[in-house]
Amino acid sequence: MTISQRRRLRRAEVELAPRIGLIRPTRNGFRVSIRLHDGQAPEDYTRVLDRLAHAWRVHSVRVLSWRPGRVTLQATSRDPLTQVRIPVCSDGLLRVQVGLLETGAPFVVDFRLVPHWLIAGATQSGKSTLLNAIIAGLAPQPVALVGFDLKGGVELTPYADRLSALATTRAECAALLADLVAILGDRMRACRDRRVRTIWQLPEQVRPTPIVVVVDEVAELYLMADKSEKEEIAKTSTALLRVAQLGRAFGVYLIVAGQRVGSDLGPGVTALRAQLTGRVCHRVNDPETATMTLGDLDPAALAAACQIPPELPGVAIVSGGDGRWYRARSAYISEEQAEQITKAYAQMRPAWADLKATPAAPVNPVEPGHPVIEQPAQAA
């Protein structure tokens, strides 16, 4: 027996020809299921997808799904993101179809599934356009929209007809965040009184309206010109973090957009970023920003983010917190279109004063000190 044969006996052999199943054509390429050899794992394929794309002469190959012993690959023959024609539309409560994934599936922002989102990217990479799409998709829904526009209001003021509140300076932001924290407190109390954990378990007639908070250019919230601002920044930063931490259960959702969202902005930013599970990374100028946005996802995702060309604004790497990532592009919704849509649905805007009002009194308030869970008698 030769040395190489002996080595092969001791190790799992992975460099084997793939056992290719039926090739199924799709609209933009094909799908193929592959049986794994003993000792192979889906990672053996994820590592070589680029090479497979070149070998098969297609634009890209991605692992679509896997189950024990089998992976399904999807090859796309041309980049479906060069032209995105999918309409932006509301797709159920707090769900918006905002664009297209590279796989051909719609790119959906679902706040019930992923409550908070971070949208990052260099200037002119498509952040505000994605916000336009999200706002346009949410406008017809029974949802309150709140804007924090740290660009002095130039981005979100056109949508003011549909916004329940809009803050454009740091002082206004601080006041609005204090209101939001108070609203969270009220909702917490309402849930506790009815012995439920989230507003979604409350009866429909007393359930408070969900609030989606849109923050554009978040870095401006943290930038300090001189020491006198330190206290105000610390206050806003803490309040924003509290909204992120407590929001999910009490129907307050965040979308935070910025060019860079890193610890260099100050204390509190890293903790805030950790709460923003949904990540959208547009074109970036440096790999650090991609790492900052996408975290420790697959290095291939970071490489893909750095390869987004400037001539394709709106293209981004998207991860919904389940560890999988996709190349995606938002549908183009211009400011004018978004403004028209927000004007058309202006009557759906809940008044800020109504949102701030304490929710309806509970039917059976729980007395303080009253045990919420009856302890079962101990078995002898």
The C-alpha atoms of residue 186 and residue 239 are separated, in whole angstroms, by: 15
279 counts as binding ligand ATP under rule CB under 6 A: no
**The one among 329, 338, 349, 352 contacting ligand ATP by CB under 6 A:** 329
- Give the distance from CA 296 to its chain's centroid: 16
330 counts as binding ligand ATP under rule CB under 6 A: yes
Identify the CA nearest to 328 among candidates 123, 38, 108: 108
- Give the distance from CA 16 to its chain's centroid: 39
Q: Residues 64-103: x/- map of binding to ligand ATP (CB under 6 A)?
A: ----------------------------------------
Choosing among Mg ion, ligand ATP, none, which partner's interface includes residue 313 (Cβ < 5 to 8 Å by kind)?
Answer: ligand ATP
Judged by CB under 5 A, the stretch of 28-36, 121-129, 168-176, 306-314 that binds Mg ion is 121-129
128 counts as binding Mg ion under rule CB under 5 A: yes
* Pick 73 or 316: Cβ nearer Mg ion: 316
Q: Which H helix or E strand runs over 215?
A: strand 211-216
Cross-strand partners of 96: 90, 109
The C-alpha atoms of residue 267 and residue 265 are separated, in whole angstroms, by: 7
Q: Residues 111-150: x/- map of binding to ligand ATP (CB under 6 A)?
A: ----------x-xxxxxxx---------------------
The position carrying tokens 């060019």 is 259
User: Regarding beta strands 211-216 and 144-149, do their DSSP bridges make them parallel or antiparallel, or are they unpaired?
Assistant: parallel
The C-alpha atoms of residue 93 and residue 79 are separated, in whole angstroms, by: 31
Choosing among ligand ATP, Mg ion, none, which partner's interface includes residue 123 (Cβ < 5 to 8 Å by kind)?
Answer: ligand ATP
* Pick 127 or 329: Cβ nearer Mg ion: 127
319 counts as binding Mg ion under rule CB under 5 A: no
Choosing among Mg ion, ligand ATP, none, which partner's interface includes residue 126 (Cβ < 5 to 8 Å by kind)?
Answer: ligand ATP
Q: Residues 236-265: x/- map of binding to ligand ATP (CB under 6 A)?
A: -----------------------x------
Choosing among ligand ATP, Mg ion, none, which partner's interface includes residue 141 (Cβ < 5 to 8 Å by kind)?
Answer: none
Could you tell me the sign of the dihedral formed by the alpha carbons of 134, 321, 290, 29, in that order? Answer: negative
**The one among 29, 147, 247, 314 contacting ligand ATP by CB under 6 A:** 314
The C-alpha atoms of residue 125 and residue 111 are separated, in whole angstroms, by: 23
Write out the residues near Mg ion by the rule CB under 5 A: 127-128
Write out the residues near ligand ATP by the rule CB under 6 A: 121, 123-129, 259, 313-314, 329-330, 332
